[in-house]
Amino acid sequence: MVNLKELKELIALMNEHQLVEVELEREGMKVRLRKAGSGEESVLVQRIAASPQASGGAPAPVEQVPAAAGVEIKSPMVGTFYRAPAPEAPPFVEVGQVIEPGQVLCIIEAMKLMNEIKSEVKGRLVKILVENAQPIEFGQVLFLVEPA
């Protein structure tokens, strides 16, 4: 378990080296520190399930996406992924739908700002790779599109 003293040391290390984000994983616990826009630190602590290999079981299957599956649409920023403009609204797009360049695919919330992510390609949406309200990273693949 990470204690308050260790968190303060990590924050001091971030400030000393002008780091924006630090992630530490140990003993089934993951801690991510990320600076907000105003210089404040946010802390995410997450318990991690024991790996199947550590318990002697077979490794969990990892879903592989074939390289020929289509064009990857990646996140241009870190934030929270939303499929719809509001919780009760229908999603912007669905799997199987034909999308056009400039069409809004999702919203990414970053530092309390809602950023529309638009398609740059025309094609059929093959797969949505993230769940609604899931935190996402810069460069993470969000959608797979089969070009038309």
Note the pLDDT tens digit of each residue in 69-122. Answer: 589 999 999 999 999 999 999 999 999 999 999 999 999 998 888 999 999 999
Q: What DSSP string runs through 42-109?
A: EEEEEE-PPPTTTTTSPPPP-----GGG-EEEE-SSSEEEESSSSTTSPPS--TT-EE-TT-EEEEEE
- Residue pLDDT, tens place only, 26-74: 666 677 777 755 444 445 554 444 444 444 444 444 344 444 458 999 9
Residue 3, amino acid: N
Q: Token pair for residue 15?
A: 């400030």
**Taking the model in full, what pTM does it have?**
0.55
Task: Report whether CATH 2.10.109.10 matches the domain 70-147.
Answer: no
How many CA atoms within 13 Å lie on the side-chain side of 65? 14
For residue 65, the model assigns a pLDDT of: 41
What confidence category does residue 24 fall into, taking pLDDT thresholds of 50, 70 and 90? confident
- The per-residue b/e assignment along 60-82, b for 16 or more CB within 10 angstroms, e otherwise, is eeeeeeeeeebebbebebbbebb
State the span(s) of the chain assigned CATH 2.40.50.100.
70-147
Residue 136 CB neighbours (<10 A) = 21
